[in-house]
Amino acid sequence: MAPDSPVLVEIHELRMRLPHVVGVLVASVDGLLIAQDAESVEPEVFAAMSAAQLGLGQQIIAAVRSGEFRETVTTASNGYVAVFAAGASALLTVIAGRELNVARLHHEARPVAARIGEYFQHIEIR
């Protein structure tokens, strides 16, 4: 992906707006890495794990008939991993330290995921 692509610009800006974020990536729903700004993780592995998280989330939601997957936040003793649906074909994953303000994460990341989803709405992801 070109350094000035709209998706890379979105994830770089998201990372700058959210203190304590250590990585942001965009993956296809099949687990293929599309774009990343993450030094402390293996982005290809995280892309695949994000797709697995989507699959689990979809199964849980289907079991209770609650609609479509939107997001999930995994909380650990030292931080967070949040996966947001970015339209029907992509995922936005944010990796952050424990000092992250989760309400601000939702406030900042939801619109970014929506814009990324719109970007890929008419583009086939490979």
Output the domain CATH number for residue 50: 3.30.450.30
Residue 51 falls inside a structural domain: yes
The domain of 27 spans: 6-120
Number of domains in the chain: 1
Q: For residue 50, give the nearest of 17, 9, 90, 98 by alpha carbon.
A: 90
Instruction: Assess if residue 65 is contained within a domain.
Output: yes
- Measured from the Cβ of residue 44, the count of other Cβ atoms closer than 10 Å reads 14
**Secondary structure (3-state) at 75:** strand
Is residue 1 a part of any domain in this protein?
Answer: no
Phi/psi of residue 46, nearest 5 degrees:
-65, -35
In a domain, 126, yes or no: no
Model pTM score: 0.93
In a domain, 19, yes or no: yes
pLDDT tens across 36-66, in order? 999 878 999 999 999 999 999 999 999 999 8
